Amino acid sequence: MKNKKLIIAIDGPGAAGKSTVAKKLALKLNYTYIDTGAMYRCLALYVYENKIAIDDVASLVDAAQKIEIFLDKDGKVFLNGKDVTKEIRSVEVTKIVSPVSSPKEVRKLFVSKQRKLVNESINGVVMDGRDIGTVVLPHADLKIFQIASLEARVQRRYLENKSKGIDVPYEEIKNDIAQRDYLDIHKDFGALKKADDAIEFDTTNLTIDEAVLWIYNKALELM
Ligand code: DC
C-alpha cells in the first residue's frame, strides 16, 4: 500500500547522529519528528536550574509532573514556554541527564507523554531515543537501532561543539560519552537496548545524508 503513514522508531547510543538523521528523515517524509532525548534534557535543565538533587527521586517526579514541554515542528524545544533549544545541549545538562531520566516513575510519566504525542499526530511519526522500539512504541512499523563507533561519535560531537564555539577537550567528550553509554545501558528501566525486531544500522562510515537515505528507502519498502 502506498502512502501508508508509518511510525518509525530510531534508538541508539548518544552522539550516534540519531537526532540529526531522524529530523532530516521526518522532513523528507513530511512526518512529525519527536526527539525524546530533548524531553529528558528539559527535565535535566529544570533540575539543574532549580538545584534539585539528582538522587532526590520524589522531587524529580514532582518536577517531571510539573514541567510543560513543547517540541515545535522546526525542532525548537520549549520548557514552560521558554525556548531552551540551546541550553538543553549544555555540558552541565548532558552530565546529569542520564541519572535524571533513570527513575521508574519519571520514565512512566515521559513514556505516556510520548505515546500521547504519537496518538495526537495526524501524520506519520519519526521518534528517536533509547527505549522507543522496546518500550514506548513496541508496535512501530520500522525500528532502527543506529550505532557508530565510539571514536566516530566523539569526533562528531567534538566537531559539532567546535562549530558552535563550545570548547570541550576531545578526551573529556570521550569520557562523557563512554560514561553515558554505561549509564544508559545499565538503567533498570528504559535501558538502551536493541529491540528483537529492530534493524541494526552502523553509521560509522556514512554521512548524515547517506544515513537518512538508507532509512528512507527502508521506509518506502513498507508503504
Ligand atoms: O539522545 P540524547 O543524547 O539527547 O538523550 C539524552 C539522555 O536522555 C540520554 O543520556 C538518555 C536519556 N534518554 C532516555 O533515557 N530515553 C530516551 N527515550 C531518550 C533519551
* Residue 178 three-state SS: helix
Among 101, 136, 192, the mutation site with the greatest number of ligand 1 atoms within 8 A of its Cβ is: 101
The DSSP element (H or E) to which 46 belongs, if any, is helix 36-49
Provide the whole-model pTM. Answer: 0.94
Q: According to the model, what pLDDT value does residue 42 have?
A: 98
Which residues of the chain fall below pLDDT 70? 1-2
CA angle 147, 45, 194 (to 5 degrees): 20
Q: Which of 46, 81, 87 is nearest to 63 (CA)?
A: 46
Task: Tell whether ligand 1 has an atom less than 6 A from the beta carbon of residue 180.
Answer: yes
Chain segment 36-53, per-residue pLDDT in tens: 999 999 999 999 999 999
Q: Cα(first)–Cα(last) distance of the chain, in Å?
A: 5
pLDDT in tens, 14-25: 989 999 999 999
Q: What is the set of domains in the chain, with CATH numbers? A: 7-215 (3.40.50.300)
Question: Whole-angstrom Cα distance, residue 93 to residue 87?
Answer: 8
**What are the distances in angstroms from CA 106 to CA 35, 57, 202?**
17, 8, 30
Cβ 41 under 6 angstroms from ligand 1:
yes
Return the residue matching grid coordinates 558552535: 164
How far apart CA 183 and CA 128 sit, in angstroms, is 18
pLDDT recorded at residue 40: 98
Q: Is 40 in the pocket of ligand 1 (CB under 6 A)?
A: yes
Nearest to 111 by CA among 136, 130, 89: 136
